[in-house]
Amino acid sequence: MAFEVRFEDSRTRARVGRLTTPHGAVETPVFMDVGTLGTVKALEPRDLEELGTQVVLGNTYHLLLRPGAEVIAAAGGLHRFMRWDGPILTDSGGFQVFSLARMRQITEEGCRFNSHIDGHEFFLGPKESMAMQRVLGSDIAMVFDECLPYPCARERAEKSVEQTLRWARRSKEEPHAEGQQVFGIVQGGIHDDLRRHCAEELVAIGFDGYAIGGVSVGEPEEFMYRAVEASVPFLPKDSPRYVMGLGVPHQMAECVARGVDMFDCVIPTRIARHGTAITRHGNVAIKAAKWTFDPGPVEEGCDCYCCRNFSRSYVRHLLACDEILGLRLLTIHNVRALNRFMEEMRSAIAGGTFSEWKEQIRKETTNNE
């Protein structure tokens, strides 16, 4: 079995699992680091190994545009191209088509669009997306779907869900790389019945795992949790569940309590480039003047290379001078912070203390606010 539930919390839907892939086992709940263009920004593969990263994401849309399928195929796939030996999950490119493309025309077969880079015309649909993911050779491939914006009218959401389901069936029928798992994506916006309908239809098609898409797209936090609650009960217990695009610690803890196993987000690397550190007590602006003389680490108790060796004062100095090392050190810290957070969560679930641990996380976050 590719996914095995190893521990279950007695008071919530939280669980610890193990997902087996051709490039190694993944302990869940897991945060997956985003390497959109075949690299997690500012980090080397050996950094990721040291920081406890289990899965790296690549993106079909971006890699299709640059460097292109031919280059990656010639290199022997994305693992060899980027020199990462661990598991890789690739997004289908659907979200980027609908959010980044300059112009787009949706048809039953997919979407014709103009590149956000140079305006060059491309076509991406279930067939093309799965073909590209086959070239990439990812361990997990996502079906091509339409991600709904927020807010979205009911009628628009209904049509989109049906289109997503038709594309999901076609994605499932396309050939995929040896050992490659394929995940379906539940859409439906803020409408509980559409979420349930989409989940049940995807399960009827049959996928290796199931993602909950269309969340963290600007909706209030309570709507995000509702989308999860409206989807998870209708997904198989013996398959991994993945909330796409979410990386805020207390939100991940709440979603795990609702039965989610996997997450990804650009947050740790993106906010590092803006001088912000993720800590157990909330985000901290390291560029702030109050840290000018501070001899302490970016976060007390953190075991990352940055915190073991450098002070807030020094990291702030690097950031103020636009030194690349400052961005790299803060990225190292942020990636480790989220990986450590997930390690703590897995231990709490396995040890039967998840509810208390989650409450403590909530208090720390609230106090920081």
Please give the Cα distance from 187 to 92 (Å, whole number): 14
- At residue 252, φ and ψ (nearest 5 deg) are -65, -40
From 33, 91, 139, 261, active-site residue: 91
Residue 288 CB coordination number (10 Å)? 13
Overall residue count recorded for the chain in this entry? 369
Q: In one letter, which amino acid is 347?
A: S
- Largest Cα separation within the chain, whole Å, is 60
Place of tokens 């209904």: 158
Q: Is 238 a catalytic residue?
A: no
Instruction: Outline where DSSP puts E strands in 240-326.
Output: 241-243, 262-265, 276-279, 282-285
How close are the terminal C-alpha atoms of the chain, in Å? 43
CB neighbour list of residue 121: distance below 8 Å, 6 or more residues apart: 112, 113, 114, 115
Rounded Cα–Cα distance for residues 321 and 324 (Å):
9
State the DSSP H helix or E strand holding residue 56, giving kind and residue range, or none if neither.
strand 56-59
Amino acid in the structure at residue 94: G
Tell me the three state secondary structure of residue 10: coil
The one catalytic residue in 9, 139, 261, 264 is 264
Strand bridging mode 24-28 / 15-21: antiparallel
**Rounded-to-integer distance, Cα 21 and Cα 40, Å:** 20
Q: What angle do CA 211, 143, 102 make, to 5 degrees?
A: 105
Cα(69)–Cα(67) distance, rounded to whole angstroms?
A: 7
Collect all residues with Cβ–Cβ distance below 8 Å to 91 and sequence separation of at least 6.
Answer: 57, 58, 59, 60, 61, 142, 244
**Catalytic residue check, 91:** yes
Backbone phi, then psi, for 209, in 5-degree steps? Answer: -160, 170
Catalytic residues: 91, 264
